Chain A
Amino acid sequence: MPEARETGPAGRWIGASVRRVEDRYLLTGRGRFVGDQEPPGTLHLVLVRSYAASATIESIDAAPALSHPGVVAVITAADLDGVAPLRGVLDRPEFVPTDMPVLASGRVRHVGEPVAAVLAESAYLAEDAAELVEVGYGELPAVVSAGDALTAGAPAVHDAAPGNVLVDVTPISSPGLDEIFASAAHVVEVAVSTGRLTAAPLEGRACVAAFDERTGQVILQTSTQIPHTVRTAVAQSLGMDEHQVRVISPDVGGGFGQKCVVAREEVLAAAVARKLRRTVKWVEDRREGLTSGFQAREQFYRVRGAFDGDGRVLGLDADIRCDVGAYSCYPVTCGVEVLMAANELPGPYRVRSYRARSRGIATNKTPIAPYRGVSRPQTVLAMERLMDEAGRVTGLGPVEVRDRNLIDAAEFPYRNVMRVSYDAGTYRESLARCAELLGYTDWPAVQARALADGLLAGLGLSCFVEPTAYGTASFGLRKMTIVPGYEQATVRMDPSGSVLVLVGTHSHGQGHATAYAQIVADAVGIDPGRVRLRQGDTELVPHGWGTFASRSIVAGGGAVARASADLAGQLRAIAAHLIEAAPGDVELAGGRAQVRGDPATSVPVAELARVAHHAAHLLPDGLGRGLEATASFDPEGTFSNATHGAVVEVSPSTGAVRLVRYVVVEDCGVMINPMIVDGQVAGGVAQGIGAALFEELCFDAAGQPVSGSFVDYLVPTAADLPDFEIHHLCTPTTRTPTGSKGMGEGGTIGAPAAVLNAVNDALAQVGAAVDRIPVRPADVVAAIAAARGADLGRAAIGGLAGSRRET
């Protein structure tokens, strides 16, 4: 890791691993999370949730609950007259909208769907009383898997979608593709699938809603990544103007996408607070989080690749299914996985012809939302399995076949088959570097030695491009009815020369207070310690879209950089007036302004700030009278790239997979704070490894979730992970003011494919393979048994007998 430091290199703060300013209060228990708020008189809201996956609601008897001590109210859908459901919409014909009711009315469509809310004087009493609410369900057959949902005659999750297909897109169908496949030297096919996941931030979702009698405002404190969008949703649902809703998102304990959509519970808390004129607090417990919190990632890919005799890909043909659960999330809809899967499959490869069909299939399971990387972990998994298979079929091996197909540095900006323009990157270079770091040329010998030791060793690679920071143009193409993408920042210097940054992004672990301060510090010539960040309050910060999709350092950082440049111009003009110089000759550095190269003219920035506010009469009209600038930035999209490499050891007897090495070579352009970048990569890789080996939300045949605790849903621990080896290449982008690209999701995107390829490299020695993640020990044992049954690799397995060392 780059050494933490308190000073910038070469007089610049951008590029320095400045210790995070957030750390001091978070490390000392002085952070303030939603659950910490509990003003006197707070009512605690506990939800009665459906235990049936699909049912009609025949009756709700709240009387026993209402007579329980401390209970103030039991709210059902009947009490929420005029509160509209959440309706995420794509304005395109291939999309069927589904209303997500705030409380279920007449019908439930997944276990955990909110049916009634109990309000009591304590959380304990509310939980007691929730047990007493009698809901009569008329159970209906549930559709539990995407396969079942597509079966003829399957029950419809929504009447509006009789075949259970909510989205069905074919965004591209290149002419002549069938002929390309018919005449290709090699046709390679893979089928991969991925288990259902959830983001599982350590702080679950939570909100505290109050009604301000003085202003008539609903004030909603909520653990969200997107305060302004929550305000829009709540205002729309409650039929209020946006100024009548104030959303505050204080410290947030992780989000990873799950909190970048609007939850029913947020609207509900606001509606109940308004109705009862009381402060209402809801804190999700972990069982709720794992069963009712937004889910993700249950996808199925069948991908065919046509290759010429030299191993160059000629065409791709993909069929993709995403199990999107019971409702569309707001605002991105259940199409979020479906569209990104089809649009981004070709990745870093030079694919000229492409056809993809991608469907979003409704099931009686908890709805999906974005989860770090959205569909990219899957598209990369499919493509990287395909590349390994192509390397095998052509005899080129995994490195050479990738190298022949990766976009070359000379081809940037590269317009891909989907008409998306990639800025410059280091696709081939990162592969070469990663292979070198892994000792790829010596790998066969290493693998043979492990085999002699009774272990199946495997090496896996994963190359990808990480499209980040979509702007309004990209989001507009999706046909969302509200289109995110730009960001605004206000940079305000106070009379003592310190700067306050107000921005619409929302840091919840990414260190924006530090990174933005570094950007301001370089522009204005002050120490980053003199810069503070204000975020997460719709009443105070400019309208913005929050933090998701690796957008903040690009969109938010871009806006901060532009506003800072404006502020710096104002300071130079004031200094020029005071020292009687031309503004263009004034430089700002080290907390002072001076004519370049003439220290005798030096004036402290703090003095300029004082004059601008307290002695503005000394300045001509148009200068001073406050010191503030606001700017926006609407990115055209930046494209980080990386190669990940994993080395594993697989125990043939227990099926256990042990990660031995994990190497990342990534390029995200200019790193504002390399320490934070490394932290984002590492955290992402850990989540990707979790997806590859450990995590899955399981359901029984009736649609009952059976992974309701951290005993069942296996978030990786320190014992499951090796030390990560993270390396950087740097190709500054010309598309952002700082040269930085977004990079928050790459770790999660690359890891599943690297790990699965490594496992399969190991298993290939015994003729076995797995194509589904998570790869559980039982899957490995079953794959080896199947290979043995198929009489493959018998000699290799026989050779292992009696000499196995468990991993």
Chain B
Amino acid sequence: MTDVHAIRVTVNGTEHELAVESRRTLADVLRHDLAYPGTHIGCEHGICGACTVLVDGLPARSCLMFGVQADGRSVETVESLGTPDELGPLQQAFTDQHGLQCGFCTPGFLMLITAFLRETPSPTDEEIREVIASNLCRCTGYQGILRAVRAAADMGAGAGAGAGADVGAGG
């Protein structure tokens, strides 16, 4: 157990200092060490994208990153996007368009799309489909997710996603 590193990581604007084993994944650090369980683990080999978070503003598979790699970086998780009482615009679009069923893959899609809409606030339908194809959903057939992203983009969710703008600067 000598293989432990002290790291400092900012999650959703809050700075955390903790000791992590070098092989501990960022997903486990977020979920179990720092109590952000909204980030889900679906495959642990980087395909399904349920664990997608933003690291310095860019989407990352947190199952394929070690916690130590987040040292000195800024991480955004689904918990940053809104609360049950006050959904963020993308979350609102997901509920309006039935973009989720069991909800397990949903946090990963939300983080992926959040970064996408910041970078591409007015995407074409083809661009939306291509980015949605980065992650897996087993419930929806993606129909509601595609509609939700279209709706979110049309109401300017990307342009107005200022909450992460400062932490996204490094990306």
Contact = CB atoms under 8 A, between A and B. Distances in A.
A27 B42 contact: no
A694 to B, nearest CB: 12
Nearest to B90: A27
A30 interface: yes
B103 A22 contact: yes
A718 B42 contact: no
A687 B32 contact: no
Interface in A196-230: 199-204
A462 to B, nearest CB: 16
Interface string B89-119: 0010011111011111111001000000000
Nearest to B125: A723
B62 interface: no
B24 A23 contact: no
B41 A201 contact: no
B84 A682 contact: no
Interface residues on B, range: 35 or more
Interface bin, chain A: 35 or more
B36 A710 contact: no
A679 B82 contact: no
B90 to A, nearest CB: 9
Interface in A680-722: 682-687, 709-711, 715-721
Interface centre among B47, B105, B110 (most CB of A within 10 A): B47
Given A28-B83, A683-B140, A718 B95 contact: no
Contacts of B21: 124
A203 B104 contact: yes
Interface string A13-42: 000000110111111111111011010000
A721 B141 contact: yes
B102 A710 contact: no
Contact of A253 (B40, B79, B95): B40
Interface in A124-179: 124
Nearest to B79: A29
A20 B87 CA distance: 13
A747 B139 CA distance: 11
A718 B146 contact: yes
A774 interface: no
Contacts of A203: 40, 42, 102, 104
B141 A256 contact: no
A27 B48 contact: no
Interface string B6-41: 000000000000000101100000011000111111
A28 B100 contact: no
A658 interface: no
B81 interface: yes
Contact of B94 (A27, A35, A36): A27
A511 B40 CA distance: 20
A200 B138 contact: yes
A290 to B, nearest CB: 9
Secondary structure at the B interface, as helix, strand, loop or mixed, is loop
B48 A4 contact: no
Given A28-B38, A29-B36, A709-B45, A683 B78 contact: no
Contacts of B144: 1, 679, 682
B143 interface: yes
A1 B98 contact: yes
A149 B12 CA distance: 57
A627 B129 CA distance: 50
A510 interface: yes
A676 interface: yes
A27 B44 contact: no
Nearest to A688: B141
Given A20-B98, A679-B144, A719-B130, A33 B38 contact: no
B74 interface: no
B98 A31 contact: no
B36 A682 contact: no
A4 B95 contact: yes
A30 B141 CA distance: 23
Contacts of A676: 98
A285 B28 CA distance: 14
A509 B103 CA distance: 7
A724 interface: yes
A33 B40 contact: yes
A719 B133 contact: yes
Given A1-B147, A204-B42, 16 more contacts: A27-B87, A27-B103, A28-B83, A31-B103, A124-B21, A201-B104, A202-B136, A251-B102, A252-B102, A286-B44, A509-B139, A678-B98, A683-B140, A685-B141, A718-B132, A723-B143
22 contacts: A19-B96, A20-B98, A27-B100, A28-B83, A28-B87, A30-B38, A30-B84, A35-B40, A203-B40, A253-B42, A254-B138, A286-B44, A286-B48, A509-B102, A509-B103, A511-B101, A678-B143, A683-B101, A717-B133, A718-B132, A718-B145, A724-B143
Of all A-B residue pairs in the complex, the 6 with the closest CB atoms, nearest first, are: A29-B38, A253-B104, A26-B103, A686-B141, A509-B102, A509-B101
